[in-house]
Structure 1
């Protein structure tokens, strides 16, 4: 398409030259002159055609073919996609390592500190010691009703200021008091029960009932932390 336009352009540019030659040769224009003029014109056209053909071929050789261009674009797009995928994988691995090595330990440490602070404020520090778990605390018997006979109410004054109350049968084993103390969060290895007045440690024996250890009326007991020497 471009070569045809160039040929037409050269023909148009050669047309004035042809008219000039014809005007000059009209007075004495013979057959020989016509033949020479036609030869010049054809020679000029041949030269122009040759120049145009060579030039067009040279330009076409400089341009990459459409097929190679598309293949090159596809290959470049494929390489860019692979690079993006590798970058995303690297970022994902980096984020996973950061979560596993930094964020997760920080969160665990924060939870541990909050748990320690909570137990310290509530006086339930025994939960932080090894070997003492709530699963070790036996279940308490069902609390007697208010109208039941031979029942005594025990008030438990905790180190954090809480006062808990519960009813017990006088005939129950005195060990139930230690079970109750552990149930509310104070392990017997770290805490003990004591009478309010006179203030002395409550002697809880395995085979003794509440009545046997002197709890025959409503009583207030204190939860006290054991001294270092008594542990």
Structure 2
């Protein structure tokens, strides 16, 4: 379309020249003059054709270069995107390995140390040893405050907390150690003792709370056994 437009433009520009030559040659126009005029016209058309051909080929040569440039840019962007994706995948794998091999063990170690400190502060260090299995016994239902023969026992734990529970005096005295184990202190590592005067609480089979002297509200201490301290 562009080449046709250029041809038309040159033809229109050549038309005045042709008219001028014809006008000049009308008074004495002969065969020789017609031949010369035709030659000039064909020469002009040939020159115009050459110019149009060169111009068209030049335009056509520019278009592929621009197309190839755009295709090259797209290919370059595609390669860069693939490189970025591979780099991101590699960074993700490194981060995952770092979390799995470094951060996770560090966090587990910190949690373990915090757990050890917690149990040391609460006096429940036996929970850190795998050699003792905690068997939690079932306790009888706590009686109401208005029930007959009721006594309240308070346990002062190594952590400083104090727990209270009501019992019936006629219950087996073993229920005190069952309660101690229920709150997390194993009887193989801890013992019970009276507050004042301080003496170890001895529980024998078949003896009731009343038999071992628990007849009024009493405070007992949960103490770590001596063999544990060595």
TM-score range, shorter chain: 0.7 to 0.9
- Mark the CA change 1:182 to 1:9 in structure 2 (over 3 Å): closer, same or farther: same
Corresponding pairs, count: 230
Q: Secondary structure at the match of 1:65?
A: helix
1:45, distance to aligned residue in structure 2 (A): 0.7
Contact 2:143 2:168 in 1 (8 A): yes
Q: Deviations along 1:37-87, whole A, 9 cap, x unmatched?
A: 112211221243144235524542553299989987876676566555545
1:151, distance to aligned residue in structure 2 (A): 3.5
1:148, distance to aligned residue in structure 2 (A): 3.2
Report the counterpart of residue 157 of structure 2 in structure 1. Answer: 158
1:140, distance to aligned residue in structure 2 (A): 1.3
* TM-score normalised by the chain length of structure 2: 0.74
CA distance in 1, matches of 2:58, 2:51: 11
Structure 1: gaps spanning 5 or more residues: none
Please report the RMSD computed on the Cα atoms of aligned residues, expressed in angstroms.
Answer: 3.7
Report the counterpart of residue 96 of structure 2 in structure 1. Answer: 96
Report the counterpart of residue 56 of structure 2 in structure 1. Answer: 56
Q: Deviations along 1:80-118, whole A, 9 cap, x unmatched?
A: 665555455445434433443344344434443443333
CA distance in 1, matches of 2:137, 2:212: 21
Q: Secondary structure at the match of 2:29?
A: coil
CA distance in 1, matches of 2:205, 2:68: 96
- Mark the CA change 1:54 to 1:160 in structure 2 (over 3 Å): closer, same or farther: closer
1:193, distance to aligned residue in structure 2 (A): 0.8
Greater shift after overlay, 154-163 or 3-12?
3-12
Contact 2:189 2:228 in 1 (8 A): no
1:33, distance to aligned residue in structure 2 (A): 0.7
Greater shift after overlay, 158-167 or 15-24?
15-24
Report the counterpart of residue 230 of structure 1 in structure 2. Answer: 229
Q: Secondary structure at the match of 1:136?
A: coil
* TM-score normalised by the chain length of structure 1: 0.74
1:123, distance to aligned residue in structure 2 (A): 2.8
Q: Deviations along 1:180-218, whole A, 9 cap, x unmatched?
A: 112223222322111223322222234433334333443
1:141, distance to aligned residue in structure 2 (A): 1.2
CA distance in 1, matches of 2:52, 2:164: 114
